[in-house]
Structure 1
């Protein structure tokens, strides 16, 4: 089974729908507020019942639709415990397993570095890596408790130890690419492949990237599942 990948062109965010092999239950990962109707229509078109909404972290470049989808569908919202997303129904820890459908299991991996709480999810030979591991790149590490040291350890110590044929589905791509593999990224990723920890930390420290345009708006909103505060 492969996920259904949906794309928000404004933030270059990838949203994923995971379908159970048996039954009609589904899970969505990293939905975007302005695309919630599209996502709901896609679920309805396929006859799927949404049972869980997963966040890889509190994004800084778009607002999630997790709260809105929860209100409409009754699905549970799940978020990394260390991201401060208090309204989430499930506060995820490393090693947790999310179950849906008839025997479907999503393994939860704590992969901090882009943010302190970032999580990746592994399901049926697919790794949903958030901003920890991108196609031929990785997420920045200079805000929200980010750490280049932690990101290097997360990717090399957890993600790169997955089977090489594991498909990599990132939270963002800016060049029109859909997916990669752990094996390819381990050998060719321009930021991580064949670098030691000190070299990677030095590289990340020299990026000097501008702050995301929506940082001050998106992070507080996403810590409330994208719903209005107060």
Structure 2
């Protein structure tokens, strides 16, 4: 498996390039509009055919690069089940598996940060956690129908029950961390360590965070799969 972790400094977003070396077929998870040329160049350099752009959720901090990448490659757009994106070619249900040669990408529904969110378990040893679980943190729960109790259940009942050695690759990082493991996060993540469900809810509800700077433009654009012209026309 070819696996690359790519970074957008402006939004602190990780994009993941995953490809099957045998067939040269690839997918991108959480592409960023401002990095489309970088990603497209890398695909060309590695002689890869982009088949899918996959979103963990409808983002509020950046506009997805899916629409532009579709225009360049003809790839399909994939979002979680129930995500408000009628433009998507496919909505992945909990437990559904997307295959690409020898690669399997299993959707694990992990709502809470938003009301429709998937983590993706890749080949049984990598978990792309989106904004449900960060390295030593987690996504916020105070907008887009987020819910702290639901996020606690998603992380503790679905992600923390994966094998200990599973590599954790988050959707964002703000501290220079790139990869962890399920065992590490279960043991050391301060958002969850020593907190029951009720205390987690109290903690998250008291955070009082400012809205993401691009929220008003990013959410409607991402509901249109990154088509900025469609979003502004709504």
> TM-score w.r.t. structure 1 length?
0.97
Q: Give the match for residue 99 of structure 1.
A: 99
The match for 1:196 is 196
Stretches of structure 2 lacking an aligned partner (at least 5 in a row)? none
Q: Does structure 1 retain, via aligned residues, the 8 Å contact 2:169–2:178?
A: yes
Matches for 1:54-203 after TM superposition, within 5 Å: 54-101=54-101, 103-124=102-123, 125-203=125-203
Q: Which runs of 4+ in 1 moved over 3 A?
A: none
Distance in 1 between residues matched to 2:21 and 2:107, nearest whole Å: 20
CA spacing shift, 1:217–1:33, aligned 2, 3 Å: same
Superposition deviation, residue 22 in structure 1: 2.1
Give 3-state SS (helix, strand or coil) of 1:112's partner: coil
In 1: Cα distance, 2:8 partner to 2:104 partner: 27
Structure 1 residue 216, shift from structure 2 partner: 1.0
Deviation at 1:207, TM superposition (A): 0.4
- Rounded Cα–Cα distance in structure 2 between residues aligned with 1:37 and 1:131: 24
Residues 108-155 of structure 1 deviation map (CA, whole Å, 9 limit, x = unaligned): 011000000011000021000000000100000000010000000000
Instruction: Give 3-state SS (helix, strand or coil) of 1:82's partner.
Output: coil
Q: Distance in 2 between matches of 1:193 and 1:18?
A: 31
- Name the SS for the 1:88 alignment partner: coil
Q: Which residue of 1 aligns with 2:212?
A: 212
Q: How far apart, CA to CA, are the structure 2 residues paired with 1:3 and 1:104?
A: 11
- Tell me whether 17-26 or 153-162 shows the greater mean CA deviation: 17-26
SS at match of 2:160: helix
Q: How far apart, CA to CA, are the structure 2 residues paired with 1:164 and 1:81? A: 27
Q: Would you say 1:15 and 2:15 are equivalent positions?
A: yes
Shift of 1:25: 0.6
Give the count of matched residue pairs: 229
Whether contact under 8 Å (1:19, 1:26) holds in the other structure is yes
- TM-score calculated relative to the size of structure 2: 0.95
Q: Distance in 2 between matches of 1:132 and 1:21?
A: 29
